[in-house]
Amino acid sequence: MKLSAGVKYFIVRAEGDSMNLAGIQDGNLLLCRFGEKGETGDRVVALLGGENVTIKEYGPRKDGVRLLLPKSTNKRHTPITPGEGDSVQGIVQEIVEPNSE
């Protein structure tokens, strides 16, 4: 794992299966770069409604807004259109699988 000087990082634990096709499994720890905006295709950590955290793929812009796209085998997960006050907190840099011991 390579960390860059001067970059702020945080760790979040993935819950659920909304990103299992992107290699993010329930229980994985994710090393994230704090405060970056991201580009299409980046896996982002977003804060929705000031309290709900979600991990999704940044989709292309639609009417000036980026969609948050699930990458899942579970079809119940649908794209999210961020609303006012929703924000990207960071970009997933690395997936850290929990120790299976």
Would you say residue 78 lies in a domain? yes
Structure confidence by residue, pLDDT tens digits, 76-99: 999 999 988 899 999 999 998 765
Would you say residue 83 lies in a domain? yes
Supply the CATH number for residue 56's domain.
2.10.109.10
Domain count, the chain: 1
Per-residue confidence (pLDDT) for residue 17, from 0 to 100: 97
Would you say residue 63 lies in a domain? yes
Would you say residue 69 lies in a domain? yes
If phi > 0 it is left, if psi is from -120 to 50 it is alpha, else beta; for residue 20 that is alpha
Q: Which residues are catalytic?
A: 18, 56
Would you say residue 72 lies in a domain? yes
Would you say residue 1 lies in a domain? no
Q: What is the mean pLDDT of the chain?
A: 91
Per-residue confidence (pLDDT) for residue 67, from 0 to 100: 93
Rounded to two decimals, what is the model's pTM?
0.87
In this structure, of 10-14, 33-37, 39-43, 71-75, the range with the lowest mean pLDDT score is: 33-37
Strands (E), the chain: 9-13, 29-34, 43-48, 52-62, 65-69, 87-96
- pLDDT: is 67 or 37 the higher one? 67
Structure confidence by residue, pLDDT tens digits, 30-44: 999 998 778 999 999
Would you say residue 54 lies in a domain? yes
- Which residues span the domain enclosing 78? 9-96
Would you say residue 52 lies in a domain? yes
